[in-house]
Amino acid sequence: MEKEQDINSPESSIDENKNEAKEPDSNSENESQNKEQLIEKSPEEKILELEDKVARTFAEMENQRRRFEKEKEEAFEYGGFSFAREALNLIDNLERSKQTLESDETLKDSKALKKLLEHLDIINKDLISIFAKNNIKPIESLNKKLDPNFHQAMMEIEDDQNEPGTIIKEIQKGFTIKDRLLRPSLVGVSKKKENKENESKKDEENNEN
């Protein structure tokens, strides 16, 4: 019974109240320290912090803008690449149609053929003009030296008037888009004529052997 009275005694309740009173003192101290830290920053320091944040934000926005511009240019360049290459078939088909009509014996030297060829030439020029406005340009090949970066040799033609390796026939016109190759020109290049006398001598020597 005496122990129970000691536990429930007013002295023990006073001690508990003292302990409880101590806890808010520590919280109040932390709050006061935080307030002091906030108060310590001067207006100039706050301005400098804001300027730094603004500068960082502006730099990020500028980087995003440049990245977007680059992606847009690449999308325009590469996105239209396959379409442009397919569109070149129109020029090829016009050229084939023109050759077919010119070789038709029933239409030769007729007024209808001349008018039709004139219209085909106009359409061809319009297509070339539209391509040029979109940075798609034909490759100059005839009388040029063979360049593997732009030309693809399909045949060799005997010719003494030009140096060997000179393009003297254009089978299919090549094109570039901006500074890149869209498709190479298919060409025929010149080579030296073989001397028929030398060939006959070689044949005779081979026959004797």
In a domain, 190, yes or no: yes
How many structural domains compose the chain?
A: 1
In a domain, 167, yes or no: yes
| pLDDT tens for the chain, residues 1 to 209 | 444 444 444 454 445 544 444 444 555 556 666 555 555 677 888 788 888 888 888 888 888 888 878 777 776 666 678 888 888 998 999 989 998 888 888 888 888 889 999 999 999 999 999 999 888 899 999 999 999 999 999 999 998 888 899 999 999 999 998 888 999 999 999 998 876 555 555 666 666 65
In a domain, 97, yes or no: no
The pTM (predicted TM-score) of the whole model is 0.56
In a domain, 172, yes or no: yes
In a domain, 103, yes or no: no
Say which CATH number the domain at 205 has. 2.30.22.10
In a domain, 154, yes or no: yes
In a domain, 129, yes or no: no
Which residues constitute the domain of residue 204?
135-209
Say whether 209 sits in a helix, a strand or coil.
coil
In a domain, 198, yes or no: yes
Task: Count CB neighbours of 167 within 10 A.
Answer: 22
Helix H or strand E encompassing 83: helix 81-102
Q: Positive or negative CA dihedral for 194, 200, 202, 206?
A: positive
